[in-house]
Amino acid sequence: MVLTCEPNKVAADLACEYFTKAGVLYPWDKWQDLKDAQRMSEDGVMEGGTPASYDFGGSITLYNGKAMTLLEQLGRSKMDSATSISFDMVFIDAEKKKYIEYYEALLDPNTGILSPNGVLIFDNVLWKGRVLAAAQKKLGRKEKIAQALHDFNRHVQDDHRTSQLLLPIRDGLSIIQVL
């Protein structure tokens, strides 16, 4: 099962278009019909304040809303249900300043959705080389995100619950294994 979370209608439409071109989703016209039936606002919230979610035949669910809201919803369903969703791998490319929050939410023993021995992959952890400048305290206006990523990398490095491999590919990937 694949679950993707897109922050707004434009990103959700783009994700759906790419999945459709890859042959893993409904044809584009069915996506449009489903989306229109949900009566979403621009920020991906349906009438009544509920984040929009689309299930494409059980293999892919596209969630249109904020990633932390989705993690909280999945965590609550884990607490409320004997059969809960868990993921063997979670890829995060979201708000960089909230990477530590995502990390902790995924690892929470009560509400986290990562399976035992699961893997987390965080994207952009070196962020155009600016993380090094942040580590050296050479902060400019653009380096606030870099500082947050530096703090995230240090947080993961110091966490005894996980093991981390940081790959310096492009903007950096952090592959984290739960111990």
**What are the residue boundaries of the structural domains of the chain, listed by start?**
2-65, 68-178
**Tens-of-pLDDT digits for all 179 residues of the chain?**
667 777 777 777 777 777 777 776 554 455 555 555 555 444 444 444 445 565 555 566 777 778 888 888 877 776 666 556 788 888 898 888 999 999 999 998 887 888 888 999 999 898 877 776 666 666 666 678 888 888 999 999 999 999 999 998 888 999 999 99
**34 vs 6: CA distance, rounded Å:** 16
Can you give the pTM of this predicted structure? 0.76
Tokens 């995060």 correspond to what residue?
Answer: 92
Both structure tokens of 113:
């959705």
Closest by alpha carbon to 159, among 139, 174, 143, 137? 174
68-178, CATH topology level: Rossmann fold (3.40.50)
Distance in angstroms (rounded) separating the CA atoms of residues 33 and 29: 6
